[in-house]
């Protein structure tokens, strides 16, 4: 059987360090942090006071004002990220068969802000004042739904909701749709915008958030011994996946090849990872097997690296299991969450973009705010400065609440 190859031809990113892919990538390479004191909510009730917010986003660039009243922020991000990715890929969608172009964009939480706003209206003004747009504004599948409507994409349309693994699952699942011959082009990734009182308060109540409030820009410090929790973020990452022959025919720029995908479940705990890292290790092994690469051929891993004490310790352990310790010690491993905070359902999409750009530009992004080595985290985390290096094969890990694990494998495109 001939396996249809899938390549990445377009990137669209909105993050706490930039409202475009270019801005975000340049900020990451420069070692900038998108974390600051939270401004979208009043945090005086909470132990954590910091967040990684998208700043200066103008949705009117992507949607007409009338439409904005009917869409939540996470959907606006998805439409904007998709438009950027389509433009970056130089796609002429009017020339494409609409039923051969699809969308698979997920969100971990969806329209939480809309729920809160409309619940307040319900309590203060009564049920007859609830917006008729409440349901279509809050449901998670409206992100891919609205993207399809905006761009006339009538092919496969689906939505993933696997917490922090969402974006990577979406990209992996979309690549398989193309491999099966059900589409030529897929927009895939994740989007999230839930820095709200309820969303922030829920994570704060779990004691999952960093309380390094005195130095917000240094609060997200993956793999550092003094890490104490993640920084809640928001944003969107969408990639254009395309069947190789289709991309070559239209002379598309190819960032890399989407070569492999693995997914597993820890089947262990609602929020904590398997302490032995077996699920995440198996996930990486499956992605490498799918990509037909050996562990010693992998050059770089964009780690899940949340900056929580347990995740970073367990992910380090899982990498050693998947690669064996001698190979793991030679790998470059970094967490771009040190720059962006944790974008939850959007994390996998944004980090896939950074991984693709790392391959395309031969440079590994750094883990910033890394100062205090942890004996339990003893790999090469590309500390504090980007590193020029030939990257031929790279993995991107996403590990979500519920024990959901996803790994995607990108290869340098070589024709």
Distance in angstroms (rounded) separating the CA atoms of residues 346 and 15 = 9
Catalytic residue among 304, 339, 377, 404: 304
The enclosing H or E element of 355 equals helix 347-361
pLDDT for residue 49: 98
137: CB partners within 8 A, 6+ apart: 70, 71, 72, 75, 111, 114, 131
Indicate whether 165 pLDDT > 90. Answer: yes
User: pLDDT by residue (tens digit) across 186-199?
Assistant: 999 999 999 999 99
pLDDT for residue 1: 60
Residue whose token pair is 């944004």: 350
Indicate whether 2 pLDDT > 80. Answer: no
Catalytic residue among 159, 342, 377, 404: 342
- Mean pLDDT over each residue of the chain, to the nearest integer: 97
Q: How confident is the model at residue 388 (pLDDT cuts 50, 70, 90)?
A: very high
CATH fit for domain 261-411, picks 3.40.50.970, 3.40.47.10, 3.30.310.50, 2.60.40.3500: 3.40.47.10
17: CB partners within 8 A, 6+ apart: 23, 24, 27, 28, 32, 33, 34, 339, 340
- What does DSSP say about strands 101-106 and 332-334: parallel, antiparallel, or unpaired? unpaired
Backbone angles phi, psi at 161, to 5 degrees: -140, 85
Judge whether 45 counts as a catalytic residue: no
User: pLDDT by residue (tens digit) across 32-72?
Assistant: 999 999 999 999 999 999 999 999 999 999 999 999 989 99
User: pLDDT by residue (tens digit) across 9-30?
Assistant: 999 999 999 999 999 999 999 9
pTM: 0.97
Q: What is the mean pLDDT of residues 242-249?
A: 98
Domains 6-249 and 261-411 share a fold: yes
pLDDT for residue 239: 98
Q: How confident is the model at residue 202 (pLDDT cuts 50, 70, 90)?
A: very high
Judge whether 342 counts as a catalytic residue: yes
Q: What is the topology classification, in CATH, of domain 6-249?
A: Peroxisomal Thiolase; Chain A, domain 1 (3.40.47)
Instruction: Take residue 312 and report the two structure tokens written for it.
Output: 């970073």
Catalytic residue among 101, 164, 236, 283: 164
Instruction: Take residue 385 and report the two structure tokens written for it.
Output: 């400065």
Lowest mean pLDDT among 30-34, 213-217, 271-275: 271-275
Q: How far is CA 86 from the centre of its chain?
A: 18
pLDDT for residue 273: 87
Ranges of each domain in the chain? 6-249, 261-411
- The total of other beta-carbon atoms located within 10 Å of residue 359's CB is 24
The enclosing H or E element of 11 equals strand 6-14
Distance in angstroms (rounded) separating the CA atoms of residues 298 and 288 = 9
Q: What is the mean pLDDT of residues 157-161?
A: 97
Judge whether 377 counts as a catalytic residue: no
User: pLDDT by residue (tens digit) across 89-138?
Assistant: 999 999 999 999 999 999 999 999 999 999 999 999 999 999 999 999 99
Residues forming a β-bridge with 103: 157, 187
Residues forming a β-bridge with 407: 262, 397
| Cα separation values, 337 from 118, 233, 307, 375, Å | 32, 9, 8, 21
Better pLDDT: 164 or 3: 164
Residues forming a β-bridge with 158: 104
Distance in angstroms (rounded) separating the CA atoms of residues 301 and 397 = 7
User: pLDDT by residue (tens digit) across 282-302?
Assistant: 999 999 999 999 999 999 999
Residue whose token pair is 């070589």: 414
Packing angle between helix 21-29 and helix 347-361, nearest 10 degrees?
Answer: 70
């Amino acid at each position: 059987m001939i396996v249809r190859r899938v390549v990445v031809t377009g990137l669209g990113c909105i993050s706490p360090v930039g409202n475009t892919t270019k801005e975000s990538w340049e900020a990451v390479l420069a070692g900038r942090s998108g974390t600051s004191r939270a401004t979208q909510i009043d945090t005086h009730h909470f132990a954590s006071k910091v967040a990684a917010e998208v700043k200066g986003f103008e949705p009117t660039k992507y949607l007409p004002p009338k439409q904005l009243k009917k869409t939540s922020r996470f959907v606006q991000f998805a439409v904007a990220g998709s438009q950027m990715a389509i433009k970056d890929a130089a796609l002429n969608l009017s020339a494409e068969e609409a039923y051969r172009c699809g969308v698979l964009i997920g969100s971990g939480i969806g329209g939480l802000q809309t729920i809160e706003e409309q619940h307040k209206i319900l309590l203060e003004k009564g049920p007859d004042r609830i917006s008729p747009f409440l349901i279509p504004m809050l449901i998670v599948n409206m992100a891919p739904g609205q993207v399809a409507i905006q761009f006339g994409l009538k092919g496969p349309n689906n939505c993933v909701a696997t917490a922090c693994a969402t974006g990577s699952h979406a990209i992996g699942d979309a690549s398989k749709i193309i491999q099966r011959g059900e589409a030529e082009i897929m927009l895939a990734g994740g989007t999230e915008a839930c820095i709200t009182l309820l969303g922030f308060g829920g994570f704060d109540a779990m004691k999952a958030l960093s309380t390094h409030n005195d130095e917000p820009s240094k609060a997200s410090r993956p793999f550092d011994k003094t890490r104490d929790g993640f920084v809640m973020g928001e944003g969107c990452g969408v990639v254009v996946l395309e069947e190789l022959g289709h991309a070559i025919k239209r002379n598309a720029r190819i960032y890399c090849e989407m070569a492999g995908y693995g997914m597993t479940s820890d089947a262990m705990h609602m929020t904590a990872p398997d302490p032995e890292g077996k699920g995440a290790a198996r996930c990486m092994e499956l992605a490498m097997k799918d990509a037909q690469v050996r562990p010693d051929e992998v050059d770089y891993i964009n780690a899940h690296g949340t900056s929580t004490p347990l995740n970073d310790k367990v992910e380090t352990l899982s990498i050693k299991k998947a690669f064996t310790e001698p190979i793991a010690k030679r790998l470059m491993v970094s967490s771009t969450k040190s720059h962006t905070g944790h974008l939850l359902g959007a994390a996998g999409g944004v980090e896939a973009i950074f991984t693709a750009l790392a391959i395309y530009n031969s440079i590994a992004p750094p883990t910033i705010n890394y100062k205090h080595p942890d004996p339990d985290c003893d790999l090469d985390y590309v500390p504090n400065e980007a590193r020029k290096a030939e990257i031929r094969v790279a993995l991107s890990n996403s590990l979500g609440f519920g024990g959901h694990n996803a790994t995607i494998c990108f290869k340098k495109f070589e024709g």
